[in-house]
Amino acid sequence: MKKMIFALICGLMVVGAGCGSASAPTPAANTNQQPSPAVTPGSKTYSLSDVAAHSIASDCWMAISGKVYDVTSYIPNHPGGDKMVAGCGKDATSMFDRIKGGKGHSDYAKSLETDYYIGDLK
């Protein structure tokens, strides 16, 4: 009878609560994996002549506000079309800020920059 009551209580217990078994709780998933930018800000620096070596649509770096971006893969998706190619190999800050009659790019456009960031301008 004692055995039956024990079995009944065990049956009602939530899985993993023990009940005399040696089963260890399932280890929690690794939550330490944080999405991190490919490059830590400040860890790489490039001069304007480094940037200038990538001045064509198929190999396009540009500096905007002290940061350097490799935007080669973004050019086909750029809403402003290949107009941005004018900024390849250059400090394109003023071009970036001048569009839309001086309004400049949207916050959304600025958020996209993160994906293409490769380092800071020396």
Positions that interact with ligand HEM (CB under 6 A): 62, 64, 69, 71, 74, 78-80, 83-84, 86-87, 92, 95-96, 99-100, 105-106, 108-109, 112-113, 116
Q: Do 34 and 62 meet the contact criterion of CB atoms below 8 Å apart?
A: no
Parallel, antiparallel or unpaired: strands 67-70 and 55-56: unpaired
User: Which C-beta is closer to ligand HEM: that of 2 or that of 103?
Assistant: 103
Cβ closest to ligand HEM, residue 6 vs residue 82: 82
Rounded to the nearest whole angstrom, what is the least distance from the CB of residue 19 to ligand HEM in the complex?
58
Contacts of 88 (CB under 8 A, 6+ apart): 54, 55, 56, 57, 59, 60, 61, 62, 71
* Residue nearest ligand HEM, Cβ-based: 80
